[in-house]
Amino acid sequence: MLARVARVLCVAVFAPFDMTGVVLAQAVDSYPPSKIAVVTDQLHGVDLADPYRWLEDQQSPATRAWIESQNAYTDRVLKRFAGRSALSRRLDQPLKVDSVGLPAARGNRYFFTKQPADRDLPVICMRDGIGGKDVVLLDPKGLSDDGSKTVSLLDVSKDGRLLVYGVRAGGEDELTLRFFDVEARADRPGQIDRGRYFGVSLTPDQKTLYYARHGKEGSRVYRRNLTGKSVDETLIFGEGYDPGVGITPGLSEDGRFLVIHVWYGSAATKTEIHVQDLSRPSSAITPIVKDIEARFSGAAVDRRMFVKTNWKAPNGRILEIDLTSPVQEKWKEVVPEDRQAVLESFSPVAGRLYVNYLRDVTSQVRVFQPDGRHVRDIAFPSLGTVSDVAGEWDRDEAFFSFSSFHIPSTIYREETATGRQAVWFRSAIPVESERFEVAQVWFESKDKTRVPMFLVHRKGLVLDGNNPTLLGGYGGFNISLTPQFSSRAVVWIEQGGVYAVVNLRGGGEFGEKWHEAGMLDRKQNVFDDFLGAAEWLIREKYTRPAKLSIAGRSNGGLLVGAALTQRPDLFQAVVCGYPLLDMVRYHQFLVARFWVPEYGSSEEPEQFKTLLAYSPYHHVTKGTKYPATLFITGDSDTRVDPLHARKMAALMQASTGSDRPILLKYDTKLGHTGARPVSQTIEDLTDELGFLFEQLNVKVVPTRTASN
């Protein structure tokens, strides 16, 4: 049991404070005032003072007034940037163009999400036939007056007549589920109330819906009858699993098998798979994989299931399991581990297995027969990233998209029998890709581990240490950062900058060993890698501290928060978005229990020591000359609690010894998830890039593109 004592001490109301508990003089008198109400916790014999615990209460009048004053101050500072208008006009060009998601093929119909150039929000579309016109089925424009509600495509019935979609308010993870009759072009009566849903799946006959919903008690799987008058749902799986366990159901393509994945935390080191044969009404949900310490991800086709796993294969392999006799002794390996590449994902499409590998952090797609015989590899024009391949087992077509930092997304349709490809959609984003150069470099981290980094810049870059540089990374949850198109990167490079992305330990770029080297008590490796990347860029004269900025979001927000508190001398400016920063208390809020397998918990004495050693909120030191920092969060972030950014902004404003601004941009409507109006995205990027350009003394110049 965690020993904890809380004491509340009210001190001089608006005086600054450092984490030693000493009240200090106001550091920057122009900041909005932040009151002090110290709460002292005793954890495992250590006293920890928290001067801004009151800011954890998001709805209190005091917090709301504080947010309003912070936003007003931030707006005044950001709006003064002289190049703001030119920057906003340039961002219009790559963002106000048509963009399209991978299609779901049903019969002769193709369903997909589209962001039209002339609309502020994405819509759900359909093409009747491969060459048909795009028909808008669902437009969120009328769902809210302020554009804060968006729609997402969740599933489509086998015959293409019924569509399940979600309505999201702001950027929260929760959805309301609705049903759309494609023939009638109208919603069907009834909806499923707001919740955090996973694996929403329609049966082929449209009579039943399966889904998981995560609540306070944890994730549970439900079955809902869509034909009767009753709207009751039936709980079928999940009782006994705690809130730190995620559960995701899904149906085989023919609807015969219900496949349930149980994952023990984000980027879990252990996964269970349970299966039910729905063709036999009396059949039970049966564990197929249960007591193996490894990750498994399966897809059922016909009477078998293909499973990607790192069991006895850190880089991943694919097994085949006969669902009529799934005992472990009969499992077959069909695609063995590649020791030189990481198996990222696979898709059973057109009677074949499309396997997406990462080889030195760039995509490679290989096609195999179901028995593992190699068919061919798919070639791409540059170092870049390929999406998962979309398609159905019984159709002779596959869809995938390709992009790189400077190459906008292109969706290809492949005739799987011949391998012939045609462009299904190509983005018309104006960018002169031929003027950009992409390179991959390697450097040694603090412990001599070799770490790769992508650099993107204009051709002919002069290495004189004066190039404005934006460095980003992630380093967690087995997530790989691969070359993908970025409007932020393009605009940055056009202004003479260097855009750098480092592949830190904790990610999945080199398999499970790479991931494990950056989690739990090895998390400091991630920060060391990131700081090593910054030092390499300076040493090789790409930039210098006065020209170096960093940015990160979510776990990447934790990354840059740790970097700015551990080495504030290395950076001029920081953008810290939707971050985790108080790592002693993070696990107590929202869905953060999912992340305990990755970070650990302060409830455990040894893990507490690790977390406290790097927790950014606990390492802000009075008088330190911190970089200019822009914290970004919002009310609708229901994933990473906004309290982290609120508390950290208040503490740093009171503590910094430099004249560089510490700002909080707080959206009272939107949040963590990326779905947002294009106009809002342009404004947000203008704020972020304008902030960085001003701090790095970059004057924005009009940019010539292929379209003007």
Q: Which residues are catalytic?
A: 554, 672
End-to-end CA distance of the chain: 66
Alpha-carbon torsion (648, 652, 654, 660), positive or negative: negative
Please report the DSSP string for 130-195 in residue order.
Answer: TTPPEEEEE-GGGG-SSS-EEEEEEEE-TTS-EEEEEEEETT-S-EEEEEEETTTTEEEEEEEEEE
What distance in Å separates the CA atoms of residue 514 and residue 494, rounded to the nearest whole number? 34
SS3 at position 443: strand
Burial of 621 (0-12, 13-18, 19+ CB in 10 A): middle
SS3 at position 398: strand
What distance in Å separates the CA atoms of residue 104 and residue 256, rounded to the nearest whole number? 20
Decide: 363 and 377 in contact? Cβ < 8 Å: no
283 DSSP 8-state letter: P
Structure token pair of residue 98: 């048509």
Decide: 336 and 348 in contact? Cβ < 8 Å: no
**Helix, strand, coil share (%) of the chain residues, nearest 5:** 20, 35, 45
Structure token pair of residue 550: 């960093």
What distance in Å separates the CA atoms of residue 112 and residue 394, rounded to the nearest whole number? 20
Amino acid letter, residue 675: A
Give the pairing of strands 498-502 and 469-472: parallel
Give the pairing of strands 246-251 and 352-359: unpaired
Nearest to 301 by CA among 341, 242, 262, 346: 346
What distance in Å separates the CA atoms of residue 643 and residue 649, rounded to the nearest whole number? 10
Structure token pair of residue 591: 């869905």
Residues in the chain: 708
